[in-house]
Amino acid sequence: MKTKLLSVLLIVLGLTSLNAQDSSAKEKADLKNAASTPEVQEELETPDGVSIELLPDGGWRVFGKGTGTYDLNDADEIRQGTKDAELRAKAAISKFMSEKIKSDESVTNISKKTKRLSSGVGEKSDPSVEVSKTDVQVRLEQLSSRSDAILAGVITLETKRSPKGSGGTISVVLGVSTKSLALAGRVGQAMKDGGKNTPSSGKMGGASGGENKAEVKKAKTEF
């Protein structure tokens, strides 16, 4: 009897973990699509290298970009350049969260973006939608207070290699959202509780060896 109960429990835990991972994969795809919009891309190219979106449903999305270099077309050099880019992207997010997120300029810019997101697009757009800067400030303060969890929960959305001579640069875009952070917790808990047969998340990294050519890699593995 105990054996049957244990078997049923393991099956349920495994299905829970797989369902959570399916949801995480969908949210990751949504994050990648959001990161590829012209507005976010423009913000990622600024010196800050950070883009923040406050969503109409109360959620949020945070993106960060960092760049590393490699001197030789060598596996270790490219891995280190990719790691440097990831660390710089995290550092950019951390600095923005601790120093710039509450500045008048940031609040104004994010308020305008929040209004555009809340108004919708196309025929469903509603230009009469109002967004309170006070509400935006409160949400940004709440976001800032979760900076440690945000940095711990970022995932790699894109890795781009741009050769120059025998070396080149590697840029990495990281992202995290309310949903991806919550879903990651569900996957971790389900696996911890016994979903040992679920597929593990892969790592994005720079390509190594072969010809030193331009390359863009977007994560395909599940979150």
DSSP 44-112: HTSSS-EEEEE-TTS-EEEEEEEEEEESSS-HHHHHHHHHHHHHHHHHHHHHIIIIITTSHHHHHHHHH
Question: How far is 165 from 213, CA to CA, in rounded Å?
Answer: 10
Q: Which two tokens stand for residue 128?
A: 């009469």
Domain ranges of the chain: 2-218
| pTM, entire model | 0.74
CB 158 within 8 A of CB 172: yes
Q: What angle do CA 223, 207, 163 make, to 5 degrees?
A: 125
Q: Check residue 59 and give its pLDDT.
A: 92
Q: Check residue 123 and give its pLDDT.
A: 58
Q: Check residue 219 and give its pLDDT.
A: 66
Q: Check residue 220 and give its pLDDT.
A: 52
- Sort residue 52 into left (φ over 0), alpha (ψ -120 to 50) or beta: beta
Question: How far is 33 from 73, CA to CA, in rounded Å?
Answer: 30
- Ramachandran angles phi, psi of 214, nearest 5°: -60, 145
The set of residues, in sequence order, having a beta carbon less than 8 Å from that of 192 and lying 6+ positions away, is none
Q: Which residues of the chain have pLDDT under 70?
A: 1-23, 121-125, 127, 186-210, 219-223
